[in-house]
Structures are given as structure tokens and as C-alpha cells.
Chains A and B, each alone.
Chain A
Amino acid sequence: MIFVTVGSAAQPFTRLMDAMDALAPSLGEPVVMQSRLRYPGRNTECIDYVTFGRIQQLVSECRVLIGHGSTGPVLMARRYGKPLIMVPRRMEFGETVDAHPLEAAQAVEKKGSRMVEVVRDIANLEAAVRRAQAKADQGLTYEADPERERLVAAIRAAAEGREVPGP
């Protein structure tokens, strides 16, 4: 199953949802999409309301995660070891009120992971989905991330009142 989440934003993200609904029949597995705004999917199962537990369950059960390009999907994909395609919402299409999805996408690309791909032009989505499916078939996993371990250790040090180690 391919799971698409565009979060709980008040702005629609039909650019991504239309593309996935059109692609779905050719992908060889079901596509489930979650958006706060109801979407009339023809080839996809669409849900508008999810609880915290349900979305964790959907991500853990999917083979490929497609996210709207903010922090939530990136961290969930890593938590459950799923290949991620990040499609940043864009201000010029009225998909977001600020540029934070693009900033997040840049940060993700800067760190770089074999499990994550950023798609800015929706025309590149199909090829990206097929690459992600291949990663799931091969059972690829995430690389270790020393930055994240440093940050968690620094928060622990601060909480326990110890000197916070430098970068």
C-alpha cells in the first residue's frame, strides 16, 4: 500500500492528490490518501479524519510514504523505516501560507538519505514513486543519523542539569 498524507492544513493540495489519483491504477498496489479536506478520489481510498494512533498505523502498514513536505512525514517515515517522497507545498499555488515546506525540503536534501526523494515538479512524481517502490522491494533501510543522536543527548544533558556538549 502507498500512503499519501497532506496533513491537517487548511489549504488544499490537489496538485499532489490529483496526480496520485491518476497514477494509482498503474502502480500495482492500493493507494490510500489522507487530507483534512475531503477529496473525491476515483482510484484511491481517501480519508479526511485520522486519529494519532490511526495515522501511525497507516504509516507502519504502508510500503511507500508520500508526504506534503514538512517535518511530520519525514520523521514518521524514518521512525517506521519507509521510503519517503516529499512533495513540498508551494506558496505560488496557494498550497501553504509560508515557505516552511521548501525550507524543510532543503534541509532534508542537505542531509541526504537514500530513502528520501524530494519532488518539486509533479511531472517527476511517477518515476519517483517507482524508485521508492523498488527501495521497498529491496528492503532498504535508513542510514544512522549522528546529528539526531547528538541533539537527543544534548536535550538529556540539559534536562539533567549537566553541561550541554558542543556540536
Chain B
Amino acid sequence: MRVLCVAAAGGHIEQMMVCLDAFAGHEVVFAHYDWPSFRDFSDRRVSRHVGIFLGGDGDDKMRLLVGMILSAFQWVWLLAWFRPHVVFSTGAEVAIVPIVLGKLFRRRTIFLETAARMQNPSGTGKVVYRFCDAFFVQSEAMLTVYGPKARFVGGLL
């Protein structure tokens, strides 16, 4: 099985470092921001890693939207080249385009809401919820925040 993993910087990538154990025995491509600070990324569980342009975040919705539209070309290329069976993300905004496209291309889509969100939903979570086949949250309180699809089996913190 091929798994495309997507994570932003900071806590998101550290949560991904834990979750990569879930794909032992499967082929993983990991997509992160195209920042120079990720050029020296290496992990034995990942067969290849790629940088994705985003150029914005939730604080500037207009810039984020432009970045997402531009990044969509990269994602389409990545999905066509790697042909993942699964798209998995630990957030943040960088997860939106690959999860929506993944769902559109009938891939299995999985999202893990960040451990930093214990009471309130993330903007990304609200957007991708409807496009996910499996949606995990990291506290019991978050179950009521989303909907019946949300699952809580444990938290990473």
C-alpha cells in the first residue's frame, strides 16, 4: 500500500513522526512545507519527502487561498505520480488541498486533529471533516465539537 503523509511544521510534524509507525510495511511519501529548514529531513520510515509551496496561513485568508490554488498543481502532480491509496495528515492548512483532492480521486482520506486542540476545532479540521473517511480527535470533548464521524481512541500528549 502507498501512503501520502502531509504535515505542517512544528507540532504537526512531530505528531506525524509518532504516527508514521502506523504505516510500517507500507510505502510512505511525506509532504512538508518547501522551507529550506526541511531539506535535511530524514526518517527511515519515509521513502521520499517533498516540499510543497503554500505561502500563507489561516491568519491571512486571501494569501492562503492563492497559495492553496497554486499548490493544487503540485498536489495533482504528486497524486498522479505516487498514486497513493491513502492520504493522511496531522494538519494544518497544508492538509486541505490534498485531502479534498484525495477524496475527489477516491483515495482513502484520514485526518488527525492536532493535540493542541482539546476544546475548540481547528479551521483546517472544520474544512476537511466532510472530506475524510476517518477523522480522529485527541480528546473526548472534541467529539461533540465535530460530528458522528469523529473518533477518539487516545491522545499523543
Contacts and interface: CB of A to CB of B under 8 A. Distances in A.
B74 interface: no
A104 B110 CA distance: 23
Contacts of A153: 22
A152 B9 contact: no
B133 to A, nearest CB: 7
Interface in B35-62: 36-42
Interface residues of A, number: 41
Between A72, A150, A156, A164, the greatest number of chain B beta carbons within 10 A of the residue's beta carbon is seen for: A72
Interface stretch (A20-28, A50-58, A119-127, A132-140): A50-58
A83 to B, nearest CB: 16
Nearest to B155: A147
B66 interface: no
A71 B156 contact: yes
Counting chain B residues whose Cβ lies within 8 A of the other chain, the interface size class is: 35 or more
B22 A104 contact: no
A103 B37 contact: no
Contacts of A37: none
A148 B156 contact: yes
B130 interface: no
Contacts of A150: 153-154
Contacts of A72: 10-11, 13-14
A104 B108 contact: no
A152 B21 CA distance: 7
Nearest to B135: A158
Interface of A: 7-8, 49-54, 70-72, 74-76, 79, 100, 103-104, 106-108, 111, 146-156, 158-161, 164-167
13 contacts: A51-B39, A52-B13, A53-B41, A70-B116, A75-B157, A103-B118, A103-B119, A107-B138, A146-B154, A151-B112, A151-B156, A164-B151, A167-B154
